Every structure is written in structure tokens, then in C-alpha cells.
Amino acid sequence: MNNLRELTLRGTILGAFITVIFTASNVYLGLKVGLTFSSAIPAAVISMAILKLFSGSTILENNMVQTQASAAGTLSSIIFVLPGLLMIGYWQDFPFWLTFAICAAGGMLGVLFSIPLRHVMVVKSNLPYPEGVAAAEILKAGSKSDNKEANDGLKDILFGGIIASIVSLFTNGFRLLSESTAYWFTTGKSIFQLPMGFSLALLSAGYLIGIMSGIAILIGTIIGWVFGVPILSAITDYDTSQPLSKVAMGFWAKDIRFIGAGVIAIAAVWTLLTLIKPMIEGLKISFKSMRSDVSGNDIASTERDLSPKAILLIMGGMLVILLVTFYSFIADSGLSAGMAWTLVFCAVLFAFIMGFLVAAACGYMAGLVGSSASPISGIAIVAVVVISLILLGLGEANGMLASIEGSNFATALALFTTSAVLAIACISNDNLQDLKTGHLVNATPWKQQVALLLGCVVGAIVIAPILEILYNAYGFTGALPRSDMDTTQVLAAPQATLMTTIAKGIFAHQLDWTMILIGLALGAVIIIIDLILAQNKSNFRIPALAVGLGIYLPPSITTPIFIGTLLSWIIKRNAYKKAKAQNLDPEEQFKKADRKAALIASGLIVGESLVGVLLAIVIVISITNGGNDAPLAIPLDLGMLPQLLGLFVFVGICTFFIRRALSAIKK
């Protein structure tokens, strides 16, 4: 029997505090660049450092804190869809209770759906679970050391956070550093650019995903901007009086990114298809295991999940909440009660079934390649297309789409339903990583599952107000709260923009499927190439999802990500070289350098993102009191200097990042 402290009040409060920080960071980062990060490892380090100040802290208590925090950090991926409701004008703000309910109910269902998978996908599986294993190693090392391991880790996170905060303040606050630069030129009519982004958060995200995904993203960027945009600009008559950047970004937004969407979609579908057999086998074994648990057999605490009765009870409660939430969403549509309830049941049933399927797939995929590489964006694209086609059939049968208002409502309902699916998928994408960590440190599964449920509630409480603040401070692409806003500071919300465009196009019968079909074909070719590489046991692989992201995201985002992946390769290579020169174990020394680099990277992400949120609060206060939306900006016309300074600072931090990571290698 395990008598160590595990699920405690102080741990729950600390977990809630860390949850708020990482949720705010992830919401900002997701809206700005379309990416989120796993918060499990930095949460574990922060928890160890803080709980060591109190008597009786244990490895299991620390594990509960990181479990709770990582759940909410992942839930923030729901912002990949929700801003679309403002982009189409259906919402004017983010209603707290509707936003909270869809996030909390979807997230908690994601937790419940992943519980039956734990036995086969965690306990009996050989899946690597990279983030889960890494978090367990950090917890074990911290519990054995005399507080030094935790303190050093916290220093690395704080170091990264302070550096990124200062740079972000000078970039987005004082406006003395540029976020990106690009040199545009033409060859004939073809438009080209040499781009570079300077975001430290994206640099860090690149480090965390590794060189293989980085090369795939670079391939996608080359497809989009060395071939796609130049070819389209060469064969299209465009207004030569317009800036090249505006013309080229127009081609990308209207055509090229839909090729990326097609690649991402087929990558997600292929993932689901390849996982059908192991998922079915896993579910059979898991349900059999749960039935044997109910039969009264004495089970060790390290194997005890929430009981089937508790799961069904909570699941029933969440379904009721979803029914009420969807009815509240649909109630103002002016539809008859019969049609309204038909749509409510249709949406909830779709979210439930699709959510369960993607929960299993995302959980398995996260265990296979890590949470960062799991195809969340692709699943969102597939979900929004399927539910839009279902609602299109229903709407045309009963005349709901006869008016512009009806079509707009159907688009909104498709997006709202997709957000529920995404909440389920995002949580399950990370849950099995947490349960793997718990399994390795001998935690009690049912207590972890309670912590995950708590994390969902705390994260859901935070998401709506953070979205509201960011919207009023910066606005989103296609949705500005005020007409006089600085459009250079607008949050792109790339996934939400794409989902909205797809849904609107389907209901208006105006979606150009040509580019999506090209993307599907291109994705199929990439998958075949990757299968051939796998067949030949090549160390080099080309993940189709990453290629799709390279096409689908603008170069100002993909370039710093690629530089980050390059840093991971440089650090690994130099760590091995340095270790061999000192007659040390290369693998062990690389792990030390990699851990240090990962914690610095986490700090850089959190620092940049939190300053973005804090600046948003300052901007909202300024506007409320009659000020402008750049209250801290220093009004100087510096020409190209901010871009040159931005590049200089970025290169300097990259160099320092490598040196600090390698400083972990000591005799």
C-alpha cells in the first residue's frame, strides 16, 4: 500500500496556480502563431522547487501538480477554433459560461475517454512516451537530490523567462525590436522572399520538436514559397502597384495554405487508419481489465483507475452539460423547438463519437511520437469538414440555409461543435503522457485522473477571460473590436482562420476544393515516401503533418522553428563530441545538456507569452481610459534599425542558448 502524500490541498492550489500561468501562455502563443507547448516538464520542475520549501513533499505530490498543470495547458488548444465565432460575427465577445462549459465538458470527457486506454497503452505497451518518460526522470532525479536538481532546473526556466520577457517587452511593448524581417524580390513575374522570424518562443518550440520535424517543416516552406507562390504569381495577372509582400501573402492566404490544409488532413486520416487495429485491440483488453476490477479482485493502488461507475456518472453529467450548452447556443437562432433539439442531439452525438475516436488516436499517437507531433490541427480540419457536411445536408433539407443568417448560424454551429471535439482530443493527447509518468513513479492512477479533471476545470475558467483580454487588446485576423487598431499587432489565429474559411466555403458552396485536393495528393505522396524510408529502416523520416504545417504557416513562423530544430542538432552533436573528449558517457551527458536546453526553452516560451498577455492587460486599461493601443511604444522612426537589432539579438541568444546548454556537461 502506498502511504506517501499524493493528492494534497497545497499541491492542488499550486497546480491551479501553475495551470493559470501555462494556460495564459498557451492561449497567447496559439493565437499568435498557431502552436502550443507541453507544460508537463516545466510544471514538474517548478513544483519540485516550491514544494521542497515545505516539509514532507514527495515525488508523488509533485507528480500530481504537473499532471494537473499539463491538463489545462493542453486544453488551451481549443482556441484553434473558438475565435472563428467572432470572425464570422456570430459572437461579439466570448460569453463566459458557454466558453467555460464547452472547454470543461469537452476536456473532462477527454480525460474519461483516455482512462480505459491506460492499461493497454501505458502499462502493457512499449510506446516510448517521450514527454512522459522525461517528466518521470526529472521527478526521480529531483526526489533523490538535495534540492539542487530542482533549484538548477528552476533557475534555467527563470533564466529563459527573464530573457524572453525583456526581448518581448522591447519588441511588442517599446516597439524598438522587430519580430521578423523579409527581403522581397521578383524574377520575371514570380515573387520570392528571404524571410526570417525572431520569436524566441518559436525558436524554443523548434528545439523541443527536434531536427527531423524541422527538416519536414522546411520542406513544406520550400514547397509553399519557392514553388507555390512564385508559380501562382508567374501565371496570374496581379496589380504591380501593390507591395510584393501584400500580393504574395494574398496568394498564400487564398490558395497555398489550403494545400497545407490538405496535407495535414490526409496525415491525420492516415494516422487514424493506421491506429484502428491497435485501438480496437487495446479497447477490448482495457474494458476486460475494468470488468475484472469491478468483480471485487484486490487491486494494487498503482493499478486502480476511477471505477466504471464513477466514469459513467461523470460522463453522464458532462453529456447533460453539453446538451444544455448546445441548446443555449442554438436557442437564439429562431429555429423551431423540434429543429433546435434535432441539431442539439446531432451536435452532441457527433462530438461524443468523434471525440472518442480521436481521443484514442491522439493518445496512441502522443505515446508513439510525443504530444507535439500529434495531428491535432489535422483532426480539427477533418472534424469541421465532416460536421459542416452533416449540417449542410440537414440545413438544405429543412430550408435552414435559405437565408444569409441561416448559413451564418450553421457555420457557427459547425465551429462550436468542432471546438468540443478539439477539447476532447487535446486533453487525451496529453493525458496518457501524464499517466505514463505516474506509472513510472508508482503513482495512484485514479488520483491522477482526479487531478486531470481538476486541471480541466481550472483551465476552462481561465480561457474565456484571457481570450477576451487578448481580443480587445490585439484583435484577431478578420475580427477587430475597433476600426482604428494597429493591424501589425493583430493575432493571426491561423487555425481558427482556416477552420472558419473552410466552414463558410462549404455552406456557401464557394470552397475551392482544387488546392485542398492538390494537398491531399501531395500528402499521399509524402506518406508513401515516408513508408519507403521506414521500410528501408532509414534514420531519416518525413512526417507528412510537419510538411503540411510548413506549407500552412507563414515563413515568419516556420523559419525560427527550423532554426530551433537546428539548435537541437547542434547541441546533440557538440554534446557527444565534448563528452568523448572528456572520456564521459556521451548519451548520459547529452541527456543533461538536452534537459537544460529544454528547461531554458520552456522558460523562453512562457516568458514571451506571459509578457504578451500582460501587455494586453495594459493595452485594455489604456483604451478604457481614452489612451491608444500602443501605450508603451517609443515614437521613433528608426527605419531598418529595429529589424537589424532584432536579428542581432536573435543570433546572440541562439549562441548563448547553445553555450548554456552545453555547460551542463562537466567532468
> Mean pLDDT over all residues of the chain?
88
Instruction: Say if residues 500 and 479 touch (Cβ distance below 8 Å).
Output: no
Over residues 33-47, mean pLDDT = 81
d(CA 531, CA 518): 20
Q: Is the pLDDT of residue 348 over 70?
A: yes
Task: Cite the DSSP H helix spans in 475-508.
Answer: 494-507
Q: Residue 110's closest CA among 78, 133, 135? A: 78
What is the number of other CB atoms lying within 10 angstroms of the CB of residue 184? 15
What number of H helices and E strands is found in the chain?
Answer: 24, 2
Domain ranges of the chain: 9-157+274-507
Across 459-486, b (16+ Cβ under 10 Å) vs e yields bbbbbbebbbbbbbbbbbbbbebeeebe
Q: Is the pLDDT of residue 572 over 80?
A: yes
Q: Residue 593's closest CA among 662, 667, 666? A: 662
Q: Residue 590's closest CA among 606, 603, 572, 608? A: 572
Instruction: Say if residues 118 and 435 touch (Cβ distance below 8 Å).
Output: yes
Q: Is the pLDDT of residue 240 over 70?
A: yes
pLDDT at 372 (0 to 100): 59
Over residues 132-158, mean pLDDT = 77
What is the number of other CB atoms lying within 10 angstroms of the CB of residue 25? 29
pLDDT at 239 (0 to 100): 92
Q: Is the pLDDT of residue 335 over 70?
A: yes
Over residues 181-206, mean pLDDT = 94
pLDDT band at 399 (very low <50, low <70, confident <90, very high): confident
d(CA 229, CA 187): 12
pLDDT band at 23 (very low <50, low <70, confident <90, very high): confident
Q: Higher model confidence: residue 147 or residue 119? A: 119
User: What's CA 303's distance to the chain center, in Å?
Assistant: 30
d(CA 221, CA 199): 17
pLDDT band at 297 (very low <50, low <70, confident <90, very high): low
Would you give the DSSP letter of residue 177? S
Task: Identify the burial level of 201 via C-beta atoms within 10 angstroms of its C-beta, where 0-12 means exposed, 13-18 middle and 19 or more buried.
Answer: buried
Q: What are the pLDDT digits (tens) for 60-91?
A: 999 999 888 877 556 777 888 999 999 999 99
Across 440-455, b (16+ Cβ under 10 Å) vs e yields bbebbbbbbbbbbbbb
User: What's CA 476's distance to the chain center, in Å?
Assistant: 18
Category of 346 on φ-ψ map: left (φ > 0), alpha (ψ -120 to 50) or beta: alpha
d(CA 392, CA 401): 8
Instruction: Say if residues 454 and 7 touch (Cβ distance below 8 Å).
Output: no
Q: Higher model confidence: residue 484 or residue 474? A: 474
Instruction: Say if residues 503 and 407 touch (Cβ distance below 8 Å).
Output: no
SS3 string, 233-296, reads HHHCCCCCCCCHHHHHHHHHHHHHHHHHHHHHHHHHHHHHHHHHHHHHHHHHHHHHHHHHHHCC
Q: What are the pLDDT digits (tens) for 495-532?
A: 899 999 999 999 998 888 999 999 999 999 999 999 99
Q: Is the pLDDT of residue 119 over 90?
A: no
Mention every residue, 6+ apart, whose C-beta is less than 8 A from residue 241.
Answer: none
What pTM was computed for the model? Answer: 0.88
Q: Is the pLDDT of residue 296 over 60?
A: no
- Dig out the grid coordinates for 228 from the structure: 507555390
Across 566-601, b (16+ Cβ under 10 Å) vs e yields bbbebbbebbbebbeeeebebeebbebbbbbbbbbb
Q: What are the pLDDT digits (tens) for 265-280?
A: 898 888 778 877 766 7
pLDDT band at 290 (very low <50, low <70, confident <90, very high): low
What is the number of other CB atoms lying within 10 angstroms of the CB of residue 317? 12
Q: What are the pLDDT digits (tens) for 364-395?
A: 777 766 665 566 778 888 899 999 999 999 98
Mention every residue, 6+ apart, whose C-beta is less than 8 A from residue 352.
Answer: 109, 319, 322
Instruction: Say if residues 465 and 93 touch (Cβ distance below 8 Å).
Output: no
Place of cell 510584393: 244
Instruction: Say if residues 429 and 371 touch (Cβ distance below 8 Å).
Output: yes
pLDDT at 308 (0 to 100): 83
Provide the percentage of residues in the chain whose pLDDT is more than 90: 53
Q: Is the pLDDT of residue 1 over 80?
A: no
pLDDT at 291 (0 to 100): 64
- Dig out the grid coordinates for 77 from the structure: 488548444
Q: Is the pLDDT of residue 203 over 80?
A: yes
Mention every residue, 6+ apart, whose C-beta is less than 8 A from residue 370.
Answer: 38, 129, 130, 131, 433
Q: Is the pLDDT of residue 125 over 80?
A: no
Q: Is the pLDDT of residue 542 over 80?
A: yes
Run of H or E including 664: none
Provide φ and ψ at 367, rounded to 5°. Answer: -65, -30
Q: Is the pLDDT of residue 2 over 60?
A: no
Q: Is the pLDDT of residue 575 over 70?
A: yes
User: What's CA 193's distance to the chain center, in Å?
Assistant: 28
User: What's CA 186's distance to the chain center, in Å?
Assistant: 35
pLDDT at 391 (0 to 100): 94
pLDDT band at 165 (very low <50, low <70, confident <90, very high): very high
Q: Is the pLDDT of residue 453 over 60?
A: yes
CA distances from 234 to 63, 223, 231, 241 (A): 56, 15, 5, 16
